[in-house]
Amino acid sequence: MAKKSTKKDDRPDRLRELLRVPPGTETDLTAYDAEAVPVGPEDKAAGVAATAAMAERLAELQERLYAAGTAGDRRRLLLVLQGMDTCGKGGTVKHVIGHFNPAGCRIRAFKAPTPEEQDHHFLWRINRELPRSGEIGIFDRSHYEDVLIARVRELAPREQIRRRYDEINAFEKALAEDGVTLIKVFLHISYEQQRRRLLQRLDNPDKHWKFNVGDIEERALWPAYQKAYELALTRCSTAEAPWYVVPADRKWYRNWAVSQLLLEHLEELDPRYPAAGGFDVEESRKQLLAS
């Protein structure tokens, strides 16, 4: 089967159309090349430059989104990052926040659920961390863990996992209807790239704290995780909340692609600065000059 990255002739105008998992189709991750550069900059220097060139526009769009939120615009954005260990979720969070004013972002990393979280439905802890009007939420892992590690490690009965896909779709549809633009990103790395990144952690004593033997145990379950991701992408890439597969073996491409996805969505939202509300600009100017 041809790697999707080779379809250079078909490249659509927008990255989101190229990377989106078409709703209703079976996802086969082996058809996606994690090293691919399917559209956009083709080398690191060009990628870094293209990403930097987006920064001002992204910052302005975020400020507009936030400003609109203070005036009753309920729209908000939620970036969900998922992927295998070492795929670069943390690095992506750091990169993305660099574009934005952190005051308008709500960043949350979801780890193994606490006893309190386990006492609730799996969407309970997610609901508490959603972005408010005008904000950009950034999730490092998410409710998808409950159909990923939960499936692979059999943390819940298979029948319950199956119900969760529908619950997730209903949840995300309700969010979308309430003004949330969901951008769900699977950071796709190759098995070989994960080995290299884990070895780098071992090679540098300053990185040993990032390593634990559990990483090797999880890696041994790679095929089961890929299957779990394929199911999640197949069942939960919907019209309201599609999944995007971002090739993530190259960090510069990953950063460019996620920035570009954010830009395309923010440009579509096209939020506007609200007009002066409840005050007379000239009168206020006079008062200030006299103060």
Cβ neighbours around 127 below 10 Å, total: 12
Contacting range for a copy of itself; rule: CB under 8 A; set: 17-25, 181-189, 203-211, 261-269: 203-211
Beta-bridged to residue 108, according to DSSP, are: 139
> Looking at beta carbons only, is 8 or 114 nearer to a copy of itself?
114
> Looking at beta carbons only, is 171 or 222 nearer to a copy of itself?
222
Binding to a copy of itself (CB under 8 A) within 129-188 occurs at 140
> Looking at beta carbons only, is 146 or 218 nearer to a copy of itself?
218
- Which token pair is 42? 């083709």
Binding to a copy of itself (CB under 8 A) within 221-250 occurs at none
In angstroms, give the least distance from the CB of 162 to a copy of itself.
Answer: 31
Contacting range for a copy of itself; rule: CB under 8 A; set: 22-30, 37-45, 202-210, 246-254: 202-210
Q: Is 73 in the site for a copy of itself (CB under 8 A)?
A: no
Q: Is 208 in the site for a copy of itself (CB under 8 A)?
A: yes
- Which token pair is 109? 């990393």
Q: How many helices (H) and strands (E) does the chain have?
A: 12, 5
> Looking at beta carbons only, is 16 or 95 nearer to a copy of itself?
95
Contacting range for a copy of itself; rule: CB under 8 A; set: 44-52, 111-119, 208-216, 258-266: 208-216
Contacts of 142 (CB under 8 A, 6+ apart): 80, 81, 82, 110, 126
- Which token pair is 131? 């972005």
C-alpha 230/C-alpha 224 separation (Å) is 10
In angstroms, give the least distance from the CB of 191 to a copy of itself.
Answer: 8
C-alpha 117/C-alpha 14 separation (Å) is 39
Q: Is 48 in the site for a copy of itself (CB under 8 A)?
A: no
Q: Which secondary structure element, helix H or strand E, spans residue 109, and what is its range?
A: strand 105-109
Q: Is 128 in the site for a copy of itself (CB under 8 A)?
A: no
Q: Is 198 in the site for a copy of itself (CB under 8 A)?
A: yes
Q: Which secondary structure element, helix H or strand E, spans residue 77, and what is its range?
A: strand 76-82
Q: Which secondary structure element, helix H or strand E, spans residue 76, and what is its range?
A: strand 76-82
Q: Is 109 in the site for a copy of itself (CB under 8 A)?
A: yes
Q: DSSP string spanning 211-272?
A: --HHHHHHHHTHHHHHHHHHHHHHHH--SSS-EEEEE-SSHHHHHHHHHHHHHHHHHHH---
> Looking at beta carbons only, is 141 or 188 nearer to a copy of itself?
141
Residues in contact with a copy of itself by the rule CB under 8 A = 67, 70-71, 90, 93-94, 97-98, 101-103, 107, 109, 140, 195, 198-199, 202, 205-206, 208-213, 216, 219-220, 273-279, 281, 284-285, 287-289, 291
